[in-house]
Chain A
Amino acid sequence: AQKITQTQPGMFVQEKEAVTLDCTYDTSDQSYGLFWYKQPSSGEMIFLIYQGSYDEQNATEGRYSLNFQKARKSANLVISASQLGDSAMYFCAMRGSGYSTLTFGKGTMLLVSP
C-alpha cells in the first residue's frame, strides 16, 4: 500500500518569500513517481512538478523545486519568491510502479499575503 502524508493543513507566507510545503511518503516499490499539484478555488488540478524515484537531480520548474530526500522518503515542494496568485491548495501525490493511478495526500492550504 502507498501512503502520502502532508502534515501542514495551512501555511502562511508573505509575498516574495520562499515557502516549503512538506510531503512524506511510504511505499515498498523500488520505482515510483512523486507529483505536486496546485488547486485554486476554481477546483482545477494544475500539475506543477514531477520527480522520479531514480532521478538523481531534484526536479525544478521555474519557481517550483522539489527537495527529494529518498532515504527520508520526503518530497517537499519549495516555492521561491511567492506571489499572491500562489494562494491555493497544494497536493502531493504518488504513483507506484505498475500503477497508473495516484495516491493523494490531504493537501496544504497556502495563503500568500501582501
Chain B
Amino acid sequence: SAVISQKPSRDICQRGTSLTIQCQVDSQVTMMFWYRQQPGQSLTLIATANQGSEATYESGFVIDKFPISRPNLTFSTLTVSNMSPEDSSIYLCSVHVRGTQYFGPGTRLLVL
C-alpha cells in the first residue's frame, strides 16, 4: 500500500488569490495524479505529474491555472491560481502502487 499525506487539509481563500497544495508519499513513485472533486460530483483528473518532466493536463485544465511541480519521486505540489468560487472543491493526489490506486486524504478548498 501507500501512505499519502496532503497539506493543507482544508482552507478558505479569497477570490483572486492562489493556494499551493502539497502531496507527500511514503515511497518512490513514477507518476502522481491530481484529481478534483467539485461539490456533489465525482472525481475528475486534472493532470499527471512525472518527475523531471512537465505535467500532462487533461482536457479543460491548463498549466497557467493549475501549475504542478514534481521535484522528486515522493513529492508534488498543485497550485490553484487566481481562484474563483468555482474552484471550491476537494483536491486529491493519487499514486499507483502495485496495481492499486491510492489517494491522499484530500484538501477541501472553499473560495469566497
Binding site for B on A (CB under 8 A): 33, 35, 37, 42-47, 50, 52, 91, 93, 95, 100-102, 104-107
Contact = CB atoms under 8 A, between A and B. Distances in A.
Contacts, number: 50
Interface residues of B, number: 22
Given A33-B99, A35-B101, A43-B106, A101 B42 contact: no
Q: What does DSSP make chain B's interface, helix, strand, loop or mixed?
A: strand
Contacts of B37: 43
Given A43-B37, A47-B103, A100-B33, 5 more contacts: A33-B99, A101-B33, A101-B48, A102-B43, A107-B42
B45 interface: yes
Contacts of A37: 103
A2 to B, nearest CB: 12
